[in-house]
Every structure is written in structure tokens, then in C-alpha cells.
Structure 1
Amino acid sequence: MTIQFQHRTENINEEGSAVVYLVAHFNQKRLRMSTGEKCLPAQWDDRRQQFRRSYPGYQEANELLAALAARLTEAHRRQRAEGGTPTPASLKAALAPAAAPIVREHNLVMLMSDFREVLRGRGYMRDTLRHYLVVGNWLRDFEQHRRRPLLAESYSLVEHDALLHYLTLTRELAPNSVYTLVKNLKALFNYLQQERGYELALKVASLKATSVDVEKVYLTAGELEQLRTAVLPSTLVPVRDVFLFCCYTGLRYSDVRQLHQGNVAGWDGGQVLRLTQSKTRRPVSIYLTEPARLIIDKYAGERAMLLPVYQNQVMNRYLKRICRLAGVTASVEVAEVRAGRLVKQQRSKFELVTMHTARHTFATQSLLRGMPVEILQKVLGHANIKTTLIYAKIVEDFQHLTMRRIWEGEETKDTSASLDSQVCAVEPSAA
């Protein structure tokens, strides 16, 4: 019997990969079957009939091919020793592995699901639990892609690199999505090791991924004024008003949709919002400036909730139309990392606006008006000031004004002066 492995490049899939086949010749018969492995042409060594080092997990994959050849040789020998005549069908049947039961206590996908329920019982919020659900789905998809289960105790750096390769190149996930998976996977492994006594095949700290800063979309003072004064169809006006209210207060969609009259309180002749944030469960107190109060008064008494808030998807869809009608059409460059390549696109800003853009707008406009970062942190409800400092990085006006003053020797006008300076005020501390 002679056994060969062939990379059939005539059947390349959308990712550019082709399947590796086992071809065996014996007694003037031929057996041809898929090994279940596939790779790019550059990752296969035709002369040596094995995977090159450029293939993620090449050692494990080559060991699988060697084991498959050994099992085929043994099946051929055993069938002849028992007096039978080996055929392609009988050998293929002998190679088919018995369906081994997946032990729930070891399968990584099932363990991630169990861990998510543990976190639910410990009071983790729904948005956080949703991230663990998505990670579990990615692990399941990788299992199906590799055609073998992921086991906690045998999970190695080789398998981890293969997972990252699949997510980055096959699924083309963004770097921050891969970072989220690794972060949540490390949380699971730490839980298994420290609280459930699992013995792992790797050091959890060796699992690394890097997050990248994503360009945040926000409206300038001029664009915010265009939006406020735009003449819109009556069906779009409530959406515009809710968005502006978030621009004036920094509220997330999850918080503005739950506002009721009980969140409004009097303060020093004015009004403030006092609420507990849905995402972080942190209490915040926000001074209601005149533009924000006018929006509340406009919808007073119409419903139990403070403002007419639709479903998030509906709000986001309407906002794009609203911003286009209001003339928020400046071209911006969107840079994304896909499959290890930086892809740049020119987009109109209105296409990128969502409800969360209001929070970015409030933060950047507050900084431009001179609000201290420490105060902005309290208004936004950030537990760590490093999160707030991200907004300080994207306020380009500071650097442009400084460069103009230094290079052109001009006293420059504050670019935020076109908008009422009270829009982004906050409740002062009590004396």
C-alpha cells in the first residue's frame, strides 16, 4: 500500500483555501478521501506532502496526517489478517471515528455558556452577558470549522493561534472584537483554574490580544446648531429632539429611554436629572440647561416616560435621514482593519451617526468649553478617568487652534462660540 497527501488547488474556496486529500493505492484499487484539513496553497509543501510552518498549528495538523496514514495502514493489515479483502469502502469505514460523547465538563463552548450563567447569578448586567454569548458563538463556529471540539484542559497556544487566525482572516473580525474574545476567554480560564480547580495546558497570562482606538464620530458646534434649527417632517421631530437632549446631557440610549418625571428634581432655581445608569449602575446627577429643559417641557404630560423614545434601531435609521436633511454631510475618512489590512473609505458623516454619537458630542463639546475632565467623568459616569481621557484625544480643535496661533501669530476665535455655552453645563458641587 502507498499513501500520499494531495492539496487539490482546483477547488479553492472563497478564502483561497483548498482541501488536503489522502490518496491510497492497494491491490490495484484506489481510496481517495478528505482529511478535513484545508489551507492556502502557500501553506502546503507538495514535495514533503505536509503543512508548512506558515500554517497556524502546522505541527498538530501534520501529526494528524501521520496518524491518519498509520490508522489506514493498520486497518489494511487487520482486514487482510482476518481473511477479508480490503476495499476502498471498507477502509474508509474503518477510519471513520466512533462518535465520542462530548463531556460537558470539558467542552469549552459549554463551559462558556455555564460561566455566563454564573456571571448572571453574580449580578452582571445584560450588556456584559451578551458579550459572553457572542464569544461562545464564535468558539462554536471555530469548533465546526476545525471539525473537532475545543477542550479546556487541552487548549494550547497552538490552538489559540489557530483560533485567532480563523477570527482575523476567515471571519475578518475587527481587532477590538478579537480583543473582546481573548479578554472573556481569559476570564473563563481564570474562573476554571482558580474556582473550579481545572488543570490547564497553558498559562492564562500568555493569551494576549491588543485593542485599538476607534475613531469616534461626534458633531461640531455648527452641525449641532444645524440639527437644532433644521425644518423636518413631523414624524422625525421627536427623534431629533431626543438625540439633541442626549447631546445636551451625555445620556446613553439605554438611560434616556427609561427616564420618567421622578428623575427630574429642582436645584437652586433650576432642574437636574438624577438617575442610576443602566450599564454601570452608577448614580449620576446632570444639570438641565435651558435647551434640555425646553425639550422636556415640549413633551410634558404626553406619556408616562419623560421623552418619546423609539427602538434603538428605529432611532438610528431615522437619525441618518435627519442629519442628511439638516446638512450634516461632511466627508470623513473611515479606517478599518480587515483580515490584517487597513481599509480606508470616504463616507458622509450622516451615514455614521447613531444615538451613541450624542454621548460623544456631549463629551467633546464639554471639553471644548473648558469643562474639567474630572467633572466630565462624573457626568458620564465613568468608573475610570482613563475612559474619559479618550475623548480628550479626539478633540482636534485644540491642536489646530494652537498650531494657528504659533505658526500664524493670530489670536483665534473659540470654535464653540456659535453654540450657547450653557448647553453642556453640569450641576455645580454644593458649597
Structure 2
Amino acid sequence: MKVTAYIRNKTAAKNNVTDKATVYFRVRDTGCDIKAASELTINPNHWSAELQGYKNRVSLVSEPKRRAFNRQVRELADRIAEEYRRGVSGDWLQRVIDEYHHPRIHDSAGAVVDTRLTEVIGRYVRRRGLSQSTTYTFNSISRKIRRFERYQQEIMHRRSFSLKADTMTEHDLHDFRTFCMSEHLLVSRYPVLYKGLGKMRTPAEPLSEDGIYDILNRLSGVLKWCDRNGIPTQKPFQRFEMRTPVYGTPWYLTLEERDSIYYLDLSGKPEHLRQMRDIFMFQCLIGCRMGDIPRMTRANIVNGAIEYIPHKTKDGNPRTVRVPLNDKARAVLERHSHRKSSLLPFFEDWRYNNAIRELCTLAGITRMVSVIDTKTREEVKRPLNEIASSHLARRTFIGNLYKQVKDPDLIASMSGHVEGSRAFARYRAIDDEMKIELVNMIN
């Protein structure tokens, strides 16, 4: 990559000292040749293409002025070289130049905007008020980004490298994806990557394709948020191809299995397990996501139904979901009617998921189900009680409703899925009972 300063008006009249030529900057690299104008000007007769600044002998210009001008040219060229990323555009180059001349040009509040991706992710998490588990996920992604930056700086010798929301390109995404796939091999080879980062779990095996997709998909959401909030990006995901995740047919509890947990005798078991059972059953009966439960209060109960705006879609496509409460759901809430704020007790995500697996085991729900191995993307069989989690409740609500009415629009109005949702489409798998009903119709 090469950065060159040049002027377009090569000459002026011999004794003309008033004409001014604009200094342009050009960036050339494999597949890249972009130009942009700066605010620096110089008399064409004083310009040296070889020195990219003033000629050595210019009697009509003071030495301090020549040095200041030459310093600005060098500073601008160095900044462009430092912030350059493969795949940048002319707009990027112009923005770098504009920010050199006017450091606060892109911040109406007068403060310099920090566009480092790790800092932007922090602002994104704080401003959107994400759930505890989602915040933890983004913090984990930020730590991975810092390790990637350190890898580029220390191992690849790109000393000033930093992932920034406004300059990141699809080539940076490719490099980051490669790092994520191979980081488990770098832990012992380059221990410097982890020095001074505090206690953390170092990756012991490669990330699955679905795991990498999740990271990149979340980063795509962050960059879209940046574009909406005054931080223009290079839109790198428009030119970056991601392998979509592979999902199997959703499996869920039958009504009989659900009720076996609902009526499970938990006498002698810890109080927290009975609380987790109530939360899990309530979720099975209204179909909400786990992150929506802690936000529900008595005010969400309107005319015998629970009304809420799903937190996951409240920013992009907010819609009120209304689910009538049946007898079992009302009985669960009655057991916690003494609560003054939230409808149900507070819970930690990991403890909740562990409790769900324990409840399935106690209820004898150990049947084998088909799941997609995240590493091989092949179908494997696993006992349901070993892999159950909070999302099983949502699948149980949707799957059993669909078996009864087979009306996706009606069910989506209670599950909070948007129209045309690819996620909801997976719930429409037709099971053997439905197939038997159909073939019997033509018996």
C-alpha cells in the first residue's frame, strides 16, 4: 500500500505567487486506487513532486511556514496509512482527511467520538438495555476482538491496528473470522496474546460455524445501529458472505410431558427448584422468551391476558403481544401473588437452564431427540433431559399450538414472531400425527 500527496495544477506563471493548488492524497493497493482532496494549498511553482512538499529553496516563503506545511502533509499521509484497511472507499479517505482538519466534525456535541469497535459495543449494550445474558455475550465478543487486535499488532506486526466501526471492511471481517476459527491453536503458540488480560477462559477447541455466525451476526447488528446513530460505516457486511447456521426440526415437550413437570412432586426439594418449575411452566404456557419474564409486572395483565412488547424486537419492529392466561398459568401466578414488583422470582440464566434439565430428569423425560452437531453440522441423537434449556418452553408453546390449529398467523400473534420470520418457519414441521391425519383423509 502506498500513500502519495500530489497537486493537479503543475505550474503557474513564473512570477505568480498568488495562484494556489489543492493538495490531493492518493492511496494505491492491490484492487484499490482512491483519491481525495485536502484543505492544504500551495503555489504550484513551490511544489516538489519528489519531496511531496515545498522545494528546498523557496525564497519568498519563510522557513517556519515551509516546515509547518511539510509537517501537515506528512501527518496526513501517516494517518491515512495508519487507518487504511483493505476494501476502503473514496468516502473513507475523504472522511479521514476531513477529520484531520476538523477533529470534531462528526460529533455535534463537540467531543471526539471513539469509534473503536470495543467501545462502540459497550455503548450499544448500555443504550439498548440488553439482558444480562446478552450483555455477557457481547462482553465475550469484545474480549475476543481485543485478542484479535493484539494478534495483529504483536504477531502480524501491524502496530497501530485497531478495529473501528467506521473503517472496518469486509477484509477485516475475513481476518477476524479466520482468527476465531484458529484461536484455539494460538493459545500455546502465542501466550503474549493473553498476558495482562486477567482471568478468562481460553478457547480449547475451534468455534463451530454456528458460533462464528452468531458473533458476526451480532456485529452486523452493531454496525447497523452505528449507521442509524451518526457513526457512518463502510457497510462491510454487504460484501461479506456468511455461512448461514444449520438448524434441525424444533423438538418440544408434548402436553403430557409438560404436565408431568407441572404436577411433579417436589416435596423435599430446594425452594429454588419449585420456583424454577413455576417460571418454566409459565413460559411454556405463554411462549415468551426467557429475557421477557423479569420485565413482566402486574401491569402486564390486562383483562385476563398477558400483554408485553418482546424485548428482542422492541427497537426494530415493536409490537404488542397478547396471550390469554389459561387456568394453569393463572395458578402459577397465584402462587406468587404476594410479589409487589415482578410477576415471578428473579433467576440467573445458567441456574434456570440447569433446573430445567433437572426437572426433565425427575419427570423421566429422557427420550432421544435429533439435534444438529454444531461442529460437524450433522444430525445426532441426544437425550432431551441433557440438552433442555429455556427455549424449550417457547418451542413447547408454539409446537403444541400449531398441532391444534395449524394457523401460523394466529400463533405468531402470540409468540411475537414477525411476519415471514425464518425462525418461526422452522416450527411448522409436520409431525407423524399430522401426517397420519392427512393420509386418513384419503383412506
- Shorter-chain TM-score bucket reads 0.5 to 0.7
Q: Choose which of 140, 144, 156 in structure 2 pairs with 1:138.
A: 144
Shift of residue 154, structure 1, vs aligned partner? 8.3
Partner residue, 2:436 = 401
- Counterparts of 1:310 and 1:204 in 2: how far apart (Å)? 36
Whether 1:126 aligns to 2:130 is yes
- Counterparts of 2:437 and 2:256 in 1: how far apart (Å)? 20
- Counterparts of 1:212 and 1:179 in 2: how far apart (Å)? 7
- 8 A Cα contact 2:287 2:393, kept in partner: yes
Partner residue, 1:177 = 211
- 8 A Cα contact 2:118 2:145, kept in partner: no
- Counterparts of 1:189 and 1:300 in 2: how far apart (Å)? 43
Cα deviation, 1:282-322, whole Å, max 9, x if unaligned, reads: 42221011111122223322554323343222222122111
Q: Choose which of 291, 294, 297 in structure 1 pairs with 2:328.
A: 291
- Counterparts of 1:211 and 1:120 in 2: how far apart (Å)? 24
Partner residue, 1:27 = none
Cα deviation, 1:68-97, whole Å, max 9, x if unaligned, reads: xxxxxxxxxxxxxxxxxxxxxxxxxxxxxx
- 8 A Cα contact 1:275 1:285, kept in partner: yes
Partner residue, 2:305 = 272
Q: 5+ residue gaps in structure 2?
A: 1-29, 31-77, 86-113, 185-205
Shift of residue 239, structure 1, vs aligned partner? 1.8
SS of structure 1 residue aligned to 2:366: coil
Q: Which amino acid aligns with 1:295?
A: V
Whether 1:218 aligns to 2:223 is no
Q: Choose which of 117, 120, 134 in structure 2 pairs with 1:112.
A: 117
Q: Choose which of 163, 169, 177 in structure 2 pairs with 1:164.
A: 177
Matches within 5 A, 1:17-56: none
Pick closer, same or farther for the CA change 1:272–1:325 going to 2, 3 Å: same
Q: RMSD over aligned Cα, in angstroms?
A: 3.9
Partner residue, 1:232 = 266
- Counterparts of 1:219 and 1:120 in 2: how far apart (Å)? 33
- 8 A Cα contact 2:116 2:162, kept in partner: no
Cα deviation, 1:328-380, whole Å, max 9, x if unaligned, reads: 10022332232xx3465432101111222111110111111105211222212
Equivalenced residues, count: 299
Partner residue, 1:365 = 400
- 8 A Cα contact 2:336 2:343, kept in partner: yes
- Counterparts of 1:210 and 1:368 in 2: how far apart (Å)? 32
- Counterparts of 2:427 and 2:128 in 1: how far apart (Å)? 29
- Counterparts of 2:429 and 2:237 in 1: how far apart (Å)? 34
Partner residue, 2:43 = none
- 8 A Cα contact 1:323 1:350, kept in partner: yes
- 8 A Cα contact 2:286 2:323, kept in partner: yes
Partner residue, 2:20 = none
Which stretch of the first structure deviates more once superposed, 135-144 or 181-190? 181-190
- 8 A Cα contact 1:249 1:362, kept in partner: yes
Shift of residue 204, structure 1, vs aligned partner? 4.8
- 8 A Cα contact 1:367 1:373, kept in partner: yes
Q: Which amino acid aligns with 1:313?
A: W
- Counterparts of 2:390 and 2:228 in 1: how far apart (Å)? 40
TM-score by length of 2: 0.57
Shift of residue 212, structure 1, vs aligned partner? 1.8
- 8 A Cα contact 1:107 1:150, kept in partner: no
- 8 A Cα contact 1:174 1:337, kept in partner: yes
Q: 5+ residue gaps in structure 1?
A: 1-58, 60-100, 411-431
Whether 1:206 aligns to 2:239 is yes
- Counterparts of 1:307 and 1:118 in 2: how far apart (Å)? 30
Pick closer, same or farther for the CA change 1:391–1:361 going to 2, 3 Å: farther
Q: Choose which of 377, 391, 411 in structure 2 pairs with 1:356.
A: 391
SS of structure 2 residue aligned to 1:327: coil
- Counterparts of 1:194 and 1:299 in 2: how far apart (Å)? 41
- 8 A Cα contact 1:360 1:391, kept in partner: no
- 8 A Cα contact 1:107 1:151, kept in partner: no
Q: Which amino acid aligns with 2:177?
A: L
Pick closer, same or farther for the CA change 1:139–1:384 going to 2, 3 Å: farther
- Counterparts of 1:368 and 1:255 in 2: how far apart (Å)? 25
Pick closer, same or farther for the CA change 1:294–1:194 going to 2, 3 Å: closer
- 8 A Cα contact 1:364 1:395, kept in partner: no
Partner residue, 1:315 = 352
SS of structure 1 residue aligned to 2:360: helix
Shift of residue 388, structure 1, vs aligned partner? 5.5
- Counterparts of 1:383 and 1:277 in 2: how far apart (Å)? 11
